[in-house]
């Protein structure tokens, strides 16, 4: 029987064939689901950054004032002030302000006066006491605080005059991270070359899982080990003064970074086509020459990616550095202590007053860390792309 050409009640599309997602509903659903999951990951990353940055925003805009001696308005002047001025003086939200009567406001102003009277005598004539210590100037430039004989970078968030200079933390983070990377990357890449190119299968089967198992050790355990065993060992070995310092932290950090760099570099080296290796060997190069001169350059984008990931892991690692060293000194000497950004956040967040300047600065540090990782990944991606296009002869 001939079906009518434009049958309006044709069950499923042309010639009865299912089209579009109706043909494979399950696959369609699975695909959309995975897409949604991927999208939500991006959303979560974005949300975390927004949350962190939002908390840090008042500091960036210079909205809060941490000066020890705040300007005082006599409570008697309450009636002379405009509502906006009162809100600003007492740091009230419009909603809070609306819910208060005259008496409460006066009491709050009395509290302000009392607080000003409680400032210890020795700070009364200190110009630093009147400074807002979370100005950008004081957060990134050295300042000669009273009692110091030269301008210095100081991170001292607890005390009468709170000092929030970020430079010691940035230097501490970079110092520990770089020591960790200088220790871990050559070792990890060397191990990856050995395992992927030179080792016999039996050796490979033992070494590879062992190194990768290193990533399964909780960092608090690595920190504990570094604190008790490695610190003493390295001090005996190198003979430096301070037992716990950035060097010990960096080496311990290296143990956390090695498995990350190793497994990615090993994958990259293994995926270099056998054809290259064969060609090099057939030309009469030794296995070592092949590994160094042919396989490693061919896998360089992957090895570089491994290093960038290692950097991300190192800069974000908290526990090891927290346990091993935490004094915030400005020094590039590896045998001095260091305090990293992550350590600072972990150690101080619990004690910072929620919503206070210290709390907000810790969030600012978090945002800074996020930005650093993001930028390093971007640069890494760019460099890898350049490597690849150059290698593949596309200009």
Query: Using CB under 8 A, which of the segments 30-38, 150-158, 331-339, 387-395 binds another protein?
Result: 387-395
CA contacts within 13 A on the Cβ side of 314? 32
Q: Which of 239, 284, 350, 353 binds another protein (CB under 8 A)?
A: 284
Q: Is 385 in the site for another protein (CB under 8 A)?
A: no
Query: Using CB under 8 A, which of the segments 171-179, 214-222, 277-285, 329-337 binds another protein?
Result: 277-285
Q: Which pair of tokens denotes residue 166?
A: 């970020």
Task: Convert residues 23-52 into a mask of x (bound to another protein by CB under 8 A) and - (unbound).
Answer: ------------------------------
Q: Is 285 in the site for another protein (CB under 8 A)?
A: yes
How far is 96 from 88, CA to CA, in rounded Å?
12
In angstroms, give the least distance from the CB of 287 to another protein: 9
In angstroms, give the least distance from the CB of 278 to another protein: 7
Query: Using CB under 8 A, which of the segments 66-74, 91-99, 334-342, 385-393 binds another protein?
Result: 385-393
DSSP secondary-structure letter at 14? G
In angstroms, give the least distance from the CB of 394 to another protein: 7
Q: Is 275 in the site for another protein (CB under 8 A)?
A: yes
Of 159 and 201, CB closest to another protein? 201
Of 141 and 287, CB closest to another protein? 287
Look-up of token digits 């405009």: 82
Of 61 and 282, CB closest to another protein? 282
DSSP secondary-structure letter at 3? P
Look-up of token digits 């909205």: 63
Q: Which of 294, 305, 309, 324 binds another protein (CB under 8 A)?
A: 294
DSSP secondary-structure letter at 212? H
Q: Which residues of 262-300 are buried (b: 16+ CB within 10 A; e: fewer)?
A: bbbbbebbbebeeeebeebeeeebeeeebbeebbbebbb
Q: Is 289 in the site for another protein (CB under 8 A)?
A: yes
How many residues form the binding site for another protein (CB under 8 A)?
Answer: 24
Of 118 and 392, CB closest to another protein? 392
Is the Cβ–Cβ distance between 268 and 308 less than 8 Å? no
Q: Is 395 in the site for another protein (CB under 8 A)?
A: yes
Of 102 and 394, CB closest to another protein? 394
3-class secondary structure, 63: coil
How far is 55 from 329, CA to CA, in rounded Å?
27
Q: Which pair of tokens denotes residue 270?
A: 């293994």
Task: Convert residues 189-228 into a mask of x (bound to another protein by CB under 8 A) and - (unbound).
Answer: ------------x---------------------------
3-class secondary structure, 164: strand
**Any alpha helices (H) in the chain, and if so which ranges?**
25-61, 83-90, 94-98, 102-117, 121-124, 136-140, 167-193, 201-213, 219-225, 231-238, 246-270, 274-282, 287-289, 296-298, 300-316, 319-324, 341-348, 357-391
Pairing of β 155-156 and β 163-164: antiparallel
Binding footprint of another protein on the chain (CB under 8 A) = 201, 273, 275-276, 278-286, 289, 293-294, 297-298, 390-395
């Amino acid at each position: 029987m001939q079906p009518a050409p434009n049958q309006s009640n044709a069950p499923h599309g042309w010639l009865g064939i299912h089209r579009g997602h109706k043909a494979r509903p399950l696959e369609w659903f699975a695909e959309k689901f995975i897409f949604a999951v991927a999208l939500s990951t991006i959303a979560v990353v974005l949300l975390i950054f927004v949350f962190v940055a939002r908390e840090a925003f008042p500091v960036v805009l210079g909205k809060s004032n941490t000066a020890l001696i705040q300007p005082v308005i006599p409570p008697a002047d309450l009636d002379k002030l405009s509502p906006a001025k009162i809100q600003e003086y007492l740091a009230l939200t419009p909603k809070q302000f609306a819910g208060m009567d005259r008496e409460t406001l006066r009491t709050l102003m009395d509290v302000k006066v009392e607080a000003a009277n409680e400032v210890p005598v020795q700070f009364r004539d200190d110009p630093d006491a009147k400074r807002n210590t979370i100005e950008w100037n004081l957060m990134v430039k050295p300042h000669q605080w009273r009692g110091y004989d030269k301008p210095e970078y100081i991170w001292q968030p607890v005390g009468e005059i709170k000092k929030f200079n970020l430079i010691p933390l940035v230097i501490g983070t970079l110092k520990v991270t770089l020591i960790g990377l200088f220790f871990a990357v050559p070792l990890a890449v060397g191990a990856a070359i050995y395992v992927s190119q030179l080792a016999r299968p039996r050796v490979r089967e033992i070494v590879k899982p062992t190194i990768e198992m290193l990533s399964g050790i909780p960092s608090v355990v690595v920190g504990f080990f570094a604190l008790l065993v490695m610190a003493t060992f390295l001090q005996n070995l190198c003979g430096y003064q301070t037992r716990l310092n950035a060097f010990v932290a960096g080496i311990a950090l290296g143990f956390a970074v090695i498995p990350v760099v190793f497994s990615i570099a090993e994958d990259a080296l293994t995926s270099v086509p056998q054809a290259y290796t064969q060609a090099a060997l057939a030309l009469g190069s030794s296995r070592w020459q092949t590994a160094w001169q042919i396989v490693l350059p061919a896998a360089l984008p992957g090895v570089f990616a491994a290093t960038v990931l290692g950097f991300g892991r190192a800069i974000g690692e908290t526990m090891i550095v927290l346990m091993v060293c935490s004094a915030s000194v400005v020094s590039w000497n590896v045998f001095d202590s260091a305090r990293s950004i992550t350590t600072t956040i972990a150690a101080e967040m619990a004690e910072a007053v929620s919503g206070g300047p210290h709390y907000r600065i810790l969030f600012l540090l978090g945002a800074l860390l996020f930005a650093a990782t993001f930028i390093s990944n971007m640069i890494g991606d760019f460099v890898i792309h350049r490597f690849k296009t150059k290698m593949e002869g596309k200009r």
